[in-house]
Each structure stands twice: as structure tokens, then as C-alpha cells.
Structure 1
Amino acid sequence: MWSNEPRSLPDWIEDAYQILVSGTPDQQTELSHDQAQDLLLTHEDFPDEPADTEYAIERLVNSGWLYEVDGKLRITDPER
């Protein structure tokens, strides 16, 4: 069920979303899980633990900030 309330995640996970947005040319770009993890792991402002990247991606998918189709990740609009 959709809600009009803004979606809220911990700051470091929202930062992960911003890193993924800035690392892709547009919201239609598909990323594999490995590509998304590499973007996060190589960014200076993100923890360099693979488990943190996996957790952040999982939370972003579960919260609707990212969506997955055929094993590829796509970016959604967090304002919706």
C-alpha cells in the first residue's frame, strides 16, 4: 500500500543512494549488484566493508529507492 509520507532511511543508507545516483548517467541505467557494490566500496564517503554495501542495497530495494528486474538494479525517485 502506498503512503504519502516521505520514506526515511538512516543517513548512511541515503548517502549510498546518492552515491549510486551520482555514479549513473540517468535513472534508466541498470546496475548489477556487483557494479552497485563497486560504486559504493570505491567511494570515499562510504564504509569500505562489503557487508555494509550488501545491507545498504538490500535496504534501498526493500524501501523502494531501488528496484530489481531480472537481477539488475534500477534507481527510483525517492520523493514518490
Structure 2
Amino acid sequence: MSRAADPRPPLPDWVLEAYTVLTDAITEHDRGESHRQVQAIPRDDAIEVLLSTDELDLEPEDADYALTRLLDRGYFYEVDSELRVTTPSEA
């Protein structure tokens, strides 16, 4: 669904920034694992990444909220407590 046709309000900039931080962390983590087909990060690790980055100043509840919104909007999907990127970026 295109942004123009999406009736839901856009995600806040800080949630989109959280997505960027997480996809960068996933890409960095997966870089050494050439056998890995799916870009993913365990949910607990994702929370830690969001809490430890200098790019965002989040409380644990904020990090959990951002992950929930990103999951609800389809940026990630979850399998066995692991967040997977729905559409991996082109390398």
C-alpha cells in the first residue's frame, strides 16, 4: 500500500529513526554470516541496541513502543522472538 493510500497516520520520526538504527545493527551483525538468508535480530538485542545508541535517547518503554509500532506497521515481523526485516534493503 502506498503512503498516499495508507489511511493510518505516519510513524513519528523517532520511530523511523529507531528502524534505521536497527536495520544498520542487523546489517552489521549479518555481515560476517554469509550463510544467513534472513536479516534478523533477537528482540532483546534490538531493545539493547535502541537503548545504547547515541542517535536516540530512549527509555525501555520507548524502545518497546517503537518495536511494537514497527511490527504493527509491517517494517519487521517476529519469529521465535527474533525480529526480521520485512523488505531487506539493497546491498
TM category (shorter chain) comes to: 0.7 to 0.9
What is aligned with 2:16? Answer: 14
Unaligned ranges ≥5, structure 1: none
User: Which has the higher relative contact order, 1 or 2, with Cα contacts under 8 A spaced 6 or more apart?
Assistant: 1
Distance 2:14 2:48 in 1: 16
Could you say what secondary structure the match of 1:24 adopts? helix
Structure 1 runs of 4+ with >4 Å offset: none
How many pairs were matched up?
A: 77
- Offset of 1:28 from its aligned partner? 1.9
The RMSD of aligned alpha carbons is: 2.4
TM-score (norm 2): 0.72
Aligned AA (1:52) = D
Measure how far apart 1:42 and its partner are: 0.6
Give the CA deviation at 1:45: 1.6
**CA displacement, residues 51-72 of structure 1 (integer Å, 9 cap, x when unaligned):** 0000000000000001111221
